[in-house]
Structure 1
Amino acid sequence: MITKVSRAEAQFGYGPGGAIAEIGDSLPESYWAHPHHAWSPLIASRIPGLEGVWLKYEGSHLSGSFKDRIMAASLGELLAREPGCPGVVVPSSGNAAVSAATLCARHGLPMVAIVPHSVPAERLVPVLSRGGLVVRAGEGPSDAYALAGALSEQLGFFRLYSTFASPWAEWGCRSIGLELAGQIGAGIGCVVAPVSAGPVLVGLANGLVQAGLAMPRLVAVQASGCAPIARAFAAGLDAVEPWAGVVDTKAAAIADRLAGYPQDGTRVLGIVRASHGLVAAVSDDELAAARAALLRHDGLDAEFSACAGVALLMRDRALVRNGTVCVITASGFKHTFAGEAPRLVPDGDLGERVEAFLVGADPAAELLR
């Protein structure tokens, strides 16, 4: 169930029966209108077969992901109400923690991130380097959320969540739709995006409506190793159930069982069906191929999970048409700097020609491959 609340009435948490509260007020320009350009670029893909697809690359934010939109709105509203906030607790699979650490550093706020054990330690360096504390606990996001709730109560800290438990999560993501309305206008026919709990896609759609545009067809993409929303869609169910099986994917940012908050998935299911869209799942092999294609053809370093939309479009070319927008939710810098990146061989014989030159010019030089 969805309940509308005013900006002034918005509070953290679900309502009676797990109801999701969405803010009826429009997102103010102060949270999205950049004085010179959009917060993230719109790039026409050059991936063979995907020509004409627009890529909304959210890796350009300060922290490298769309979570900056959520954290900016959440912290902005929090500090306006409670300027003496003692600190924040952030459950995360990585991106929300980095985003919160980035913004908390600018405000001088203490923060603690709760992340699953499955998140490699090297991907948490951007949080630690900004002065945040990191606790690794539990199998996935659902465990992190449960522990974060208890810790926030113990410390008296505010909770910064990126699920629908926070009405500011979906509200902040409306800025993506508002930007797209200015970048493309009325020509948006389909939006494809990776989805975990779902505020990114729902907020984007509501942002387009706030801009006065029609709701496009919405396509949510999950990892096949943890896909509770895609499973419900394929089964024709009206409600999403938590993922009870083994989580078998490297796409940690979208591998959420939704245990304790399956209504988030049901919200996504409802808006996708209302738009005559679909929810699909892609394999890790397809995600890896999409990441390599983005690097080779578009020069974009995308997080593994963030490649889900591109992976689906590469598999299902029927979705590729004029007016299709694919959201790349995060940069892949955490993977790349940890050595988790494909080594693509240049086309042709360039490597051999350079090696032949080095034999005579500088035998001690080394060509990296």
Structure 2
Amino acid sequence: MRTVRVSRDKARFGYGEGGTIIEIADPLPPRYWDHPANAWSPLLSSRIPGLEGVAIKYEGSHLSGSFKDRIMAATLGELLAREPHCPGVVVPSSGNAAVSAAALCARAGLPMVAIVPAATPQERILPVLARGALVVRFGEGPSQSYALADQLAESLGFFRLYSTFASPWAEWSCRSLGREIAAQAGNVSRLVAPVSAGPVLIGTANGLREAGRDIPPLVAVQAAGCAPIAAAFASGAQEVSPWDGAVETAAAAIADRLAGYPQDGTRVLEAVRGSGGSVEAVTDAELAQARAALFAHDGIDAEFSACAGIAWLRRPETPKVEGTVCVVTASGFKHTFAGDVPSSPAAPSPLRHRLESFFARLSEPAVLLD
């Protein structure tokens, strides 16, 4: 996959000739990553049994609850510096990018239209509507949302806020993750992240390099029910083909067929192989177990899709590597508000017995919940 690097001032939306991916050669300016008080997100040592030594870069602490704030903040910042009278933006999204863009557009007073797949749950849409954006349901998945967004942006004269490699600012802005990790962590011996199109993993790796670190083995993790990059890696293919089977996963944020832009997947495939890493696929059952483990042991409410790296790391056969950093890309608040939460382990029986004895003496009933 050919990648062309251009100066920041020459970066433009879209792919180059023949689908070439355009990346920005200039380093990410400190204003997008150098925060004197604290980083955009914490780096936490996991307490999940078997994951000792794994550092979690938890991206749920952003204004809108996901790493997409990095992409939208940098992209909108660059856009408004060039076009201060921008009439509005169009955002194709399965949820997180739309929430992030809506938060920033509300602060900037910009009109916004989000295009989401038809089956997007209401809990992913309400935070967008609450911030004043318009939402359109369309198509089966992200690929169709992007296609309609292209047409709508052209018709309205609106700017495209995308989080695929079609936007050179997507990968560029994710370098802030690598910059922060370089400042927060000691040795980074392996970098693991959930992947849809892939700018989060590539950007983080490039950010580490900008900070003077070597790029470690990269592990991209997808949902088994829609895993075009993992399929190409497993088969030894040199290029990624769009996923042509049924999409059978609840991990909507990383379930992208890559129809129309498979070169994004090929960019990830080449980077992973070049680093000595791998592309993995995890089941929905493993994702659910990983989300429950993050709640129970690390106190982290993570989005279902964001748990992909943790799900892979929890496999008994996954090599344990000291210095592993795993990016958990988003908060699970949308699931939690909808009541979709794993049950927590019951309290130890001696404590339950003491509580029940205490409550039995009260004049008003107290119900101990499980």
TM tier relative to shorter chain = over 0.9
Partner residue in 1 for 2:264: 264
Q: Which residue of 2 aligns with 1:19?
A: 20
TM-score by length of 2: 0.98
Q: Secondary structure of 2:193's partner?
A: strand
State the shift of 1:346 in Å.
2.8
Q: Which digits, 9 at most, give the CA deviation of each residue in 1:73-113, with x for residues without a partner?
A: 10010000000001100000000000001111111111111
**Rounded Cα–Cα distance in structure 1 between residues aligned with 2:148 and 2:319:** 40
Mapped partners of 2:251, 2:352: distance in 1: 33
Query: 5+ unaligned residues in a row in structure 1: which ranges?
Result: none
Residue number in structure 2 paired with 1:327:
327
Task: Indicate yes or no: 2:95 matched with 1:97.
Answer: no
Partner residue of 1:212?
Answer: 212
The total of aligned residue pairs comes to: 368
2:91–2:160 Cα contact (<8 Å) kept: yes
- TM-score by length of structure 1 reads 0.98
Cα distance in structure 2, aligned partners of 1:17 and 1:282: 32
Residue 52 of structure 1 corresponds to 53
Residues 353-362 or 341-350, more deviating: 353-362
CA distance in 2, matches of 1:206, 1:316: 30
SS at structure 1 position matched to 2:361: helix
- The answer to which of 147-156 and 324-333 deviates more is 147-156
What pairs up with 1:272-287 in 2 under 5 angstroms? 272-287=272-287
- Residue 365 of structure 2 corresponds to 364
Secondary structure of the residue aligned to 1:163 is coil
Q: Residue 125 of structure 1: CA displacement?
A: 1.2
Distance 2:75 2:140 in 1: 26
Question: Does the Cα contact within 8 Å between 1:173 and 1:204 map onto a contact in 2?
Answer: yes
Q: How far apart are residue 362 of structure 1 and its match?
A: 4.3
| Residue 158 of structure 1: how far off its partner (Å) | 0.4
CA, structure 1 residues 367+238, in 2 after alignment: closer, same or farther (shift >3 Å)? same
Query: Contact 2:312 / 2:318 at 8 angstroms: preserved in 1?
Result: no
Task: Report the CA distance between 1:365 and its aligned residue.
Answer: 2.5
- Letter of the aligned partner of 2:63 in structure 1? L
Partner of 1:247: 247
Q: Deviations over 1:54-78 (max 9, x none)?
A: 0000000000000000001100100
Question: What is the CA distance between 1:329 and its match in structure 2?
Answer: 0.3
Q: Which residue of 2 aligns with 1:113?
A: 114
2: CA distance between counterparts of 1:147 and 1:163? Answer: 15
Alignment of 1:280-319 (within 5 A): 280-319=280-319
Q: Deviations over 1:133-191 (max 9, x none)?
A: 11111110001101111111111110000000000000000000000110114x10100
Counterpart residue number, 1:203: 203
Gaps of 5+ in 2: none
Following superposition, the deviation at residue 118 of structure 1 comes to 1.9
CA-to-partner distance for each residue in 1:100-132, whole Å, 9 max, x for gaps? 011111111111111112210122111111111
Provide the rounded CA distance (Å) in 2 between the counterparts of 1:108 and 1:316.
50
Please state how far the C-alpha of 1:316 moved relative to its aligned partner: 4.5
- Once residues 171 and 369 of structure 2 are traced to their aligned partners in structure 1, the CA distance between those partners, rounded to angstroms, is 44
Residues 249-303 of structure 1: CA deviation (Å, up to 9, x unaligned) = 0000000000000000000000000000000000000000000000000000000
**Would you say the 8 A contact 2:116–2:142 is kept in 1?**
yes
Secondary structure of residue in 2 paired with 1:315: coil
User: Equivalent residue for 1:230?
Assistant: 230
Structure 1 partner of 2:138? 137
From the superposition, tell whether residues 13 and 362 of structure 1 become closer, same or farther in structure 2 (CA, over 3 Å). farther
Cα separation, 2, equivalents of 1:320 and 1:136: 42
Q: Distance in 1 between matches of 2:331 and 2:292?
A: 13
The answer to whether the 8 Å contact 1:52/1:321 transfers is yes
Counterpart residue number, 2:84: 83
Q: In the alignment, what sits opposite 1:181? A: 182
Matches of 2:11 and 2:139, distance apart in 1: 29
Report what 2:193 is aligned to: 193
Distance 1:341 1:249 in 2: 17
Distance 1:362 1:33, change over 3 A: farther
Give the AA of the match of 1:221.
V
Task: Name the SS for the 2:10 alignment partner.
Answer: coil
- Give the conservation status (yes or no) of the 8 Å contact 1:123–1:338: no
Contact 1:116 1:137 in 2 (8 A): yes
**Secondary structure of 1:325 counterpart:** strand
Residue identity opposite 1:344 in structure 2:
S
Distance 1:279 1:363, change over 3 A: same
2:147 aligned partner: 146
Q: 1:151 to 1:351 in 2, by over 3 A?
A: farther
- Cα distance in structure 2, aligned partners of 1:50 and 1:39: 24
C-alpha distance in 2 between matches for 1:170 and 1:362: 61
Q: Which residue of 1 aligns with 2:75?
A: 74
Distance in structure 1 (CA, Å) of the matches to 2:342 and 2:51: 20
Partner Cα separation in structure 2 for residue 258 and residue 56 of structure 1: 26
- Following TM superposition, by how much is the alpha carbon of 1:352 offset from its aligned partner in structure 2, in angstroms? 4.4
CA distance in 2, matches of 1:295, 1:87: 38
CA contact under 8 A between 1:194 and 1:329: conserved in structure 2? yes
1:307-346 deviation digits (Å, cap 9, x = unpaired)? 0000000014543221100000000000001101112133
Contact 1:198 1:268 in 2 (8 A): yes
Deviations 1:200-247 (A, max 9, x none): 000000000111111101000000000000000000000000000000
Question: What is aligned with 1:343?
Answer: 343
Percent identity over paired residues: 69
